[in-house]
Amino acid sequence: MAIPAHLHPLFWDTRVDDFDPKAHPRYTIARVLERGEEEDVAWLARTFPESEIQDVLRTDRRLSPRSATFWALVFHVPASEVAALQPL
């Protein structure tokens, strides 16, 4: 599975022709949540189950506090469970 052309700018550091988002779900989800636009997140929601997106919010510290707070609201994850919002 290749990523759509509208997502290519989000993965500037990746060889997009060879990149399989299903093989790297956590990386893909975090990158789209942090840098994506509405169309990109719509693709994300069609491609990955909500539970997998929620798991990334709960465990991945790479998201900025701003992004983490917003997506926690959208995907119904309490802020107290969002890894990027917890002290080190």
Per residue in 36-45, pLDDT tens? 999 999 999 9
pLDDT digits (tens, 9 = 90+) for 37-78: 999 999 999 999 999 999 999 999 999 999 999 999 999 999
Residue 18 has, within 13 A of its CA and on its CB side, a CA count of: 3
Query: Measuring CA to CA, how many Å separate 10 from each of 21, 30, 80?
Result: 12, 11, 28
Question: Which run of H or of E encompasses 70?
Answer: helix 65-74
Tell me the backbone φ, ψ of residue 22, rounded to 5 degrees.
-70, -25
Domain count of the fold of the chain: 1
pTM (predicted TM-score): 0.93
CA distances 21 to 31, 56, 82, Å, are: 11, 14, 22
Q: 57: domain range?
A: 5-85
